[in-house]
Amino acid sequence: MRWFCSFFALLFVVVVARPVDAHGMMTAYLEITETASGVAVGTWKLPVPSRDVTAEIEGCTRSELANQLPDGQTSQHVYQVTFQCPGSLAGRELKISGLGVTVSEAVVRIALSNGTTASHVLGKRESIWRVPATQSTSAVLARYVALGVEHILTGPDHLLFVLGLVLLVGTDRKKEIAWTATFFTLAHSITLSATVLGVLRVSSAAAEATIAATLVLLALDLGRAQAARRPRSTAFAFGLVHGLGFAGALSEIGLPQGAIAPALFAFNLGVELGQLGFVVAILILFAGVQQRFWGDRMRRVIFLHQAGTYAIGSFGVFWMLQRWVVIMSHRL
């Protein structure tokens, strides 16, 4: 059984794993800052080198810089664009073109010259956004809850860690799973908030490599006897590290200056909702497997536990080495 699980986990890594950034999100970021002179300067951050994704603002002329420089910290590709507009950007339509399979969405953040900031997520279905003069609190809450849910559900490293916590507790102990998830949420909320607010500063590359290391350590913990495990302590300690990863994504998106606290709360809430939804899905899946497949119940539980453990450890080692190579390449 143990050799079979090892082979299965290794095969899964070889077939499925590919070089990824922190969360594999093919998302573009566009930050536009309006000046009092009627010129707006935009900065594109793209996950791949491409000029296919472009922005147009109603009634404005656009010009782009010829050079394109790699951003060493995020492994994204950055270039600038300027918009010459007769008047304020407020009330004008902004259209994103070129979104597709490679880059599926764009997070747009605009800082108007009057100090107001607004943000929105555009995709193929909704590629046009009218820039608001102000952004309501309810709109901020809805947008950042959605961003939080999307971030956790598109972060395979975070999801594997949550899976590991469920295995660490045991799928039959629903109450303890809830407590463990609460400790994880509390911990990553602390470091997320501290980092975004500027209290804590950590290299994003180092944070992502450390997150991968937590998967390896969690896999080792899963191999210990049940009595020796401390799921709540493990969830809290490693949750502090995962919060740094969440902060990296939120820092790139930015927080609206007039609603920092609601946006931060909403993003945390979205992460928690996505996390709880994933836990429920795991429990339903495991219950179905245990009822429908081979052997007695104890053998099924052991198989699922071992397969999950080896998969978590294998991916953890793979991502840790991959991200360590990125760190070292930037130092050379």
223-241: average pLDDT: 80
Place 58 in a pLDDT band, splitting at 50, 70 and 90. Answer: very high
pLDDT tens digit sequence for 89-132? 888 999 999 887 778 888 888 888 877 778 788 888 888 998 88
| pLDDT at res. 21 | 43
Residue 173 predicted with pLDDT over 90? no
**Mean pLDDT taken over the chain:** 79
| Separation between Cα atoms, residue 279 and residue 240, nearest integer Å | 19
Most confident of 58-67, 157-166, 281-290: 157-166
Residue 72 predicted with pLDDT over 60? no
pLDDT tens digit sequence for 21-47? 444 447 888 989 988 767 899 988 887
| 295/36: higher pLDDT | 36
Place 76 in a pLDDT band, splitting at 50, 70 and 90. Answer: low
Question: To which residue do tokens 């536990």 refer?
Answer: 305
pTM above 0.75, yes or no: no
| pLDDT at res. 161 | 92
| Separation between Cα atoms, residue 242 and residue 210, nearest integer Å | 9
Residue 150 predicted with pLDDT over 70? yes
| pLDDT at res. 293 | 59
Q: Going by CATH, does the domain composed of 27-135 fall within 2.60.40?
A: yes
Question: To which residue do tokens 């992460």 refer?
Answer: 271
Residue 16 predicted with pLDDT over 50? no
